[in-house]
Structures are given as C-alpha cells and as structure tokens.
C-alpha cells in the first residue's frame, strides 16, 4: 500500500495538470463560443419548437444585442442571460403584439404553439396577476437552464477528457510512471512535494466554488477562479522534479521503448486524461482531505512552510514512503 506522501505527491501532480487543462479548456470554450452556442440552443428549444417568429424577435431585441458580443466583426451570442433579462425581453415581445388588446389575447397571439401553451399555463397559475406571472416566467427559465446545464456539463466533460489526453501526451504525464517514480526513485524530493501540497491546501483563495469545475458548474469565469500564485508555486517546484518523475520528453524516446512498455505508457496517458476530466476542484478537495489525514499524523503546515522557505532540513530517516514492492517505471 502506498504511503500518504506518495498519494499526496500524485494528487498534487494531477491537480497541476488539471489546472493546465482547465486553462486550455477555457480558451477552447471562448474561441468556439461554446457557452453562447449552448444558450442559443436553449432559446431555440424554448421559443422555436415549431415557429421561429418569437426567437427572431427575441434575438433582435436591443437588450439582447447589448448582451451579445462581437468577434472579428461577427455578432456572437452571450454566454449567459439572467432570468430577469430573459423575462424582460420575452414579455416585451409579447406586449407589443398589435393584434390583441389584453394580455391574455397577446399570449394567444404567440405563433409558436408550445411557447404559447407554456405561457398561458403560467398566466393561469398566476391567476392572471401580471407581477406573479413575471415571477413564474423567471422560475420557469431558471428550471430550464438548470436542466440544460446538465447537458452542457456532459458535453464539456467529454471535451475536457480529450484535452486531458492531449496534455498527458504532450507533457508525457504518464500516471503509472509518475507513481512508480514517486515510490522508487530516490531522486524525487517527496517531502518537498508534500510541503508544496500543504501550502496549496492551506490557500483559502483556492476553494472549490471558485475553481472552474466543468463537471460541476458551467457559468463560472475560469480566469477569476484560478489562483495564479498557487499555480506558479506548483509549477516552480514541480519543474525541479520532472525528470526524476518521468515527466516530459527530455529523457524518453517513445518509439525506442519495447512494445509492452509502449502499451503501459499509453495506458498511463489514458489514466491521466481520465483523472484530468474529473476537474481541478475534485483533486483540490481530495488533496485537502488527504492532507488532513497527514496532519493528524504530525506533519504540520508550519513544517511545510519551513521547508518551502528553505530553512527546514529534509528528514532522511527513511521512515516515510517505504514500500515493500514497487512497479517497474515506464519511461
């Protein structure tokens, strides 16, 4: 069974590459306007089941146009529309219908039959009280968005898996080789990695709600969620151990590996990709939990800070990280 130090080191490394993959994922999302396209699909489902009249009027509304963006001169859909803005635009396009006099008749003049049926039902549930009806429209929109968020999360998770696999291959982040080197390679400063993990887990600004977990939230801003100081802390300390951990291509020639080792390396990349697809917040939360278990055994945050500042001496007693058997490193 691996020691806690090995587990902590492995989680820290996966967290680092998960953060990197998240940055790449956000760049892809922004470039392809994935959120905006997803929102537009939701609006089509709501308002254009059989007729696009209301959808066209909605998209032509000045408020919607202000929320939309410009990309190389082309209008792109907004990433998000609040329930208040949705209600305001929708009710405005209903209220200006000239072929009706009262609001019930205006709802009846809606061209899309499914949208008309939903609005009429909400209006009747509100006892034809306009203020209550407005609230019900917002509640309906929020429920639709919450349900649709699940579709988007699953789609993003599939893309994140592909990004994770790409990151694993580009940086040769092979989980099996990393684990093997954490266990058996004496050149790996395992205690230093644990100290970095302690410092990361103690950082209050890097919390789960702030991190852009694409498997859990779809509207958070990645750049505001990422703590650059923590990211750089991991990167700087990991850089010193990459060769010893078997990360990177400096000392590895994939095509020169025996056939069996090639398969193990590919398998290691797949494991890394799957791990990255879990999302950075998952690994951050897991790191915090494992650190708490470690702290209960006497490894304190103050000691971690001492090690990181360079004033602490490395424990060479050999009592930590002992493993009865170790797998063969691959690369």
What is the pLDDT tens value at each position of the chain, 331 positions in all? 568 889 999 999 999 999 889 888 888 888 888 889 999 999 999 998 788 899 999 999 999 999 887 776 677 889 889 999 999 999 999 988 777 778 899 999 899 999 999 999 999 999 999 999 999 999 999 999 998 888 888 888 899 999 999 999 999 999 999 999 999 877 778 888 888 888 888 775 555 443 443 333 333 443 334 456 666 778 887 887 888 888 988 888 888 888 889 999 999 999 999 999 998 889 989 999 999 888 776 555 445 455 555 534 444 334 333 333 344 444 4
Distance CA 35, CA 77 (A): 8
Q: Which run of H or of E encompasses 70? A: strand 69-71
Closest to 230 measured CA to CA, from 215, 210, 255, 257: 210
Distance CA 68, CA 119 (A): 25
Q: Which run of H or of E encompasses 308? A: helix 301-309
Cβ-contact 329, 185 below 8 angstroms = yes
pTM of the predicted model as reported, rounded to 2 decimal places: 0.73
Backbone φ, ψ for residue 12 (5° rounding): -60, -45
Q: What is the DSSP string of 124-188?
A: HHTTT-HHHHHHHHHHHHHHHHHHHHHHHHHHHHHHHHHHHHHHHHHTT--HHHHHHHHHH-TTS
Residues in Cβ contact with 8 at an 8 Å cutoff, skipping those fewer than 6 apart: 193, 194, 197, 287, 290, 291, 294
pLDDT score, position 212: 40
Distance CA 118, CA 103 (A): 14
Distances (CA, A) of 20 to 30, 134, 138, 203, 280: 16, 42, 36, 18, 9
Distance CA 254, CA 245 (A): 16
Closest to 278 measured CA to CA, from 7, 22, 12: 22
Distance CA 157, CA 155 (A): 5
pLDDT score, position 70: 74
Closest to 91 measured CA to CA, from 102, 113, 112, 107: 107
CA 284 from chain centre, in angstroms, equals 12
């Amino acid at each position: 069974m691996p020691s806690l130090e090995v587990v902590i080191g492995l989680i820290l490394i996966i967290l680092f590459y998960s953060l990197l993959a998240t940055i790449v994922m956000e760049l892809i999302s922004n470039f392809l306007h994935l959120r905006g396209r997803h929102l537009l699909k939701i609006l089509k489902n709501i308002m254009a089941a059989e007729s696009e009249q209301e959808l066209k009027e909605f998209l032509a509304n000045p408020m919607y146009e202000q929320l939309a963006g410009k990309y190389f001169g082309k209008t792109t859909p907004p990433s998000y529309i609040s329930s208040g803005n949705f209600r305001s635009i929708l009710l405005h396009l209903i209220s200006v219908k000239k072929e009706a006099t009262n609001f019930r008749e205006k709802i009846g003049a809606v061209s899309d039959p499914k949208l008309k049926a939903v609005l009429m039902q909400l209006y009747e549930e509100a006892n034809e009280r306009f203020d209550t009806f407005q609230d019900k429209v917002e509640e309906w929109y929020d429920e639709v968005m919450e349900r649709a968020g699940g579709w988007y999360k699953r789609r993003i998770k599939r893309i994140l898996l592909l990004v994770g696999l790409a990151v694993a291959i580009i940086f040769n982040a092979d989980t099996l080789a990393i684990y093997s080197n954490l266990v058996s390679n004496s050149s790996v400063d395992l205690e230093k990695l644990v100290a970095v993990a302690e410092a990361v887990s103690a950082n209050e600004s890097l919390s789960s709600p702030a991190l852009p977990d694409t498997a859990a939230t779809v509207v958070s801003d990645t750049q505001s969620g990422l703590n650059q100081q923590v990211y750089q802390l991991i990167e700087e300390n990991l850089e010193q151990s990459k060769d010893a951990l078997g990360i990177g291509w400096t000392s590895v020639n994939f095509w020169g590996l025996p056939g069996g080792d090639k398969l193990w390396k590919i398998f290691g990349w797949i494991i890394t990709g799957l791990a990255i697809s879990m999302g950075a917040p998952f690994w951050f939360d897991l790191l915090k939990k494992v650190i708490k278990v470690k702290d209960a055994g006497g490894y304190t945050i103050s000691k971690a800070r001492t090690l990181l500042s360079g004033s602490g001496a490395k424990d060479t007693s050999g009592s930590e990280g002992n493993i009865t058997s170790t797998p063969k490193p691959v690369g």
